[in-house]
Amino acid sequence: MWPSVAYETCAWERDYDELAFIPKSRRRKILPTYEAALPAKIAQLTVNLSPEIQRRIADVEVAVTRFDEAQNARDWNLPALLLRSESSSSSQIERLTSSVRNVALAELSDKAPTNALLIAGNVAAMREALRQSGPVSIDSICSIHDVLMAETSEWEGLRDEQVWIGGTPYSPHEASFVPPHASRVPDYINDLIEFGVREDVPPVAKEAIFHAQFETIHPFTDGNGRTGRALVHRMLANDEVLMHSTLPVSAGLLHDVERYMKALDAYHVGKIEPIIACFADALELAVVIGLRIADDVDDVLSAWRASNTDRAGSASHGLPELLVEQPVVDAAYVANRLAITDRAARTLIETACERGILSKMGNAKRGAYYQADELIGILEEASRLQGIRRIAAR
């Protein structure tokens, strides 16, 4: 058995000026002390897995590795598309939603809707996680979180205050879970980092336990779930399971969020196999989604290439691959990425609109932006719960 989370009694500093504005029924429940989680240190713990779960994760690791090798041979940037699907699904787990189009727009313009700007931060955080190399550190974890929360007033670095899940905003006394006291967070994160470099635990199992322990520690005041799921990709790359691509693991978790949350709760009472099985199934579904996206994009790019009669070497031949990475563009972005003049970029966009590759976005106040409808449609299907369930049912 994995050790259950213990608890310690901590002092709750009550601000009597603030208490005056809290309803009496709530005020009576705010006590001088509260119970904060005291999870076990896991760096040296033995990880015992049943033969069944060992076989399950071995099969999944083979499937993921094969997917990674196969996608590496493509001549367009599949990871960029899958990263968008992952970021959108991870945000939806936190009940943060926006269209794929608006999120792509938010990467070019600060006039996009607020939710889109926040999810674009998730895309940027994923890129930061995949950009990093070498051992995970407190600084690298904080860097991912800082990028994620760049559009907010969120405190940078590890939290220095108590946080809690559920209950009321007034105090932790009615919360469903109270993570460790802030003074313990650095020590817990260092222990987690030490666990993360172990080589005696199968990667999928290690990443699942790492994630569950990270969420238990809850090292930030906000953004813990999204940061934790971005770290899963960093760990998969470190363990050479996903070396070339990425996978929409969060889409697999979004497929059954209730199971994911129950698995995290089970971890608190000493059960590690539910979260490991949850991640194994999520990775397996992520491979299915990734293959579906790859096939659909292949079809779209083939049709676009067939419609292009321009001479070899024309900038128009580079536009499809650019749109895979960024499905919403303006003339300045195209000119910069394809190293052409603004005038040539505008002409190229006009031609792409005539060929049905791009269409102009409707809100003139945001400027002249254009979207690749077919690519956005593929991503919407693979990032929304209903679409994920349709893919899973096939």
- pLDDT tens digits, residue range 106-160? 999 888 899 999 999 999 999 999 999 888 999 999 999 999 998 887 777 999 9
Element (H, E) at 6: strand 6-11
Six token digits for residue 209: 């336990």
Residue of 371, 324, 317, 376 whose CA lies nearest to 348: 317
- Residue 222 has a pLDDT of 93
CA 73, distance to chain mean position in Å, is 25
How far does CA 359 lie from the centroid of its chain? 29
For residue 338, give both structure tokens: 């394809």
Task: Examine domains 6-290 and 299-393 and report if their fold is the same.
Answer: no
Q: Report the binding-site residues for ATP.
A: 222-229
Low-confidence ranges of the chain (pLDDT < 50): none
Which pLDDT does position 244 carry in this prediction?
Answer: 85
Evaluate whether 74 touches 294 at the Cβ level (below 8 Å): yes
Positions marked catalytic: 218
The count of C-alpha atoms lying within 13 angstroms of the C-alpha of 79, restricted to the half-sphere facing its C-beta, is 17
CA-based nearest residue to 122, from 85, 158, 165: 85
Kindly report the average pLDDT of the chain as a whole number. 91
**Residue 347: per-residue pLDDT:** 95
Residue 367 is predicted with a pLDDT of: 63
CATH class of the 6-290 domain in this structure: mainly alpha
The whole-number pLDDT of residue 24 equals: 73
Please report how many Cα atoms fall inside a 13 Å half-sphere around the Cα of residue 256, on the Cβ side.
17
Q: Check residue 20 and give its pLDDT.
A: 67
Q: Does domain 299-393 have CATH number 1.10.10.10?
A: yes
- For residues 394 and 384, give the distance between their C-alpha atoms in angstroms, rounded to a whole number: 16
* Other C-beta atoms lying within 10 Å of the C-beta of residue 97: 15
Return the domain boundaries, the chain.
Answer: 6-290, 299-393
The binding site comprises 222-229
